[in-house]
Structure 1
Amino acid sequence: MDNDDFIVTPKEKSVTITIRVDKAIADKLDSLALQSERSRNELINMALDYALKNVKFMRSTSENKRK
């Protein structure tokens, strides 16, 4: 490969979804977007990625009491 090559990679696939959030959450996201110079969409993707990587499932409280 030469330094003058024009390299094109596949675009990451994304989908559009619609969600409703409390106004307070939207306001916090907008504030963080301004502070970080990132888009609200980018912050939401970062937060969802973090949550999915760190999610832990727990049994319900009633199931825990039976054990």
Structure 2
Amino acid sequence: MNTKIILKPKEDTTSTFSIRIDKSLLSRFDILSNESGYSRNELIKFAMEHYIDSVEVLKKDTKK
């Protein structure tokens, strides 16, 4: 996918929750965090927003 993600200044309207992810994915976020200067949390938030904006849910075919 060649879609660029634009990093914008952060906002202060947050909630906290936890998730479990593979250590390799966490490592990739840490590397990007170090390279970009954004926190791991901010980058994961941006990734989640991008996913929600891009996902399409297919409905089950009710005819069988």
TM over 0.5: yes
Q: How many residues are paired up?
A: 53
**How far apart are residue 16 of structure 1 and its match?**
0.4
Q: Which residue of 1 aligns with 2:14?
A: 14
Q: Which residue of 2 aligns with 1:36?
A: 36
Stretches of structure 2 lacking an aligned partner (at least 5 in a row)? 1-10
**How far apart are residue 59 of structure 1 and its match?**
4.5
More helix by share: 1
Larger Rg: 1
Q: Please give the secondary structure, in 2, of the residue aligned with 1:42.
A: helix
**How far apart are residue 30 of structure 1 and its match?**
0.2
TM-score, normalisation: structure 1 = 0.67
Amino-acid identity (%): 32
After TM superposition, where is structure 1 displaced by more than 4 Å over at least 4 residues in a row?
none
Q: Which residue of 1 aligns with 2:27?
A: 27
TM-score, normalisation: structure 2 = 0.70
**Structure 1 CA distance, aligned partners of 2:21 and 2:31?**
15
Q: Which residue of 2 aligns with 1:4?
A: none
Stretches of structure 1 lacking an aligned partner (at least 5 in a row)? 1-10
RMSD (CA atoms) = 2.0
